[in-house]
Amino acid sequence: MPRTRAAVKTNPYQVHIESLGKKQRELLDSYERDKAASAYSKELNFSLSDGERNLLMLIEEAFTRVKDDTYGTCTNCGNVIGDKRLLAVPWTPFCIDCQELQEKGLLG
């Protein structure tokens, strides 16, 4: 038997993890560009929009869950989030049911 190729851990969520990374780079890039532009114009108020900042935070949290091996399960109820949903919003911490609760302000 040939030796199996070195420790590339296959994660069932690899696709989603990659798109998380991609989105994160996108956001950080635009942040850096923004920062450079405002340094040039000597304006202090460079920043990401609230939405972008929030998204970055969600992405970082998602990476933490990847590390903890809890990625793909709802942080509220523990159900599997589902591939289709992760494909659309790989950074989501919630299953669709809990997302609805959260949007209605019913989640703590």
CB-CB contact of 23 with 58 (8 Å): no
Least spacing, CB of residue 68 vs Zn ion, in Å: 17
Least spacing, CB of residue 100 vs Zn ion, in Å: 9
Least spacing, CB of residue 11 vs Zn ion, in Å: 21
Measure the CA–CA gap between 4 and 6, rounded to whole angstroms.
Answer: 6
59 or 74: CB nearest Zn ion:
74
17 or 85: CB nearest Zn ion:
85
Q: Applying CB under 5 A, which residues contact Zn ion?
A: 74, 76-77, 79, 95, 98
Measure the CA–CA gap between 99 and 90, rounded to whole angstroms.
Answer: 13
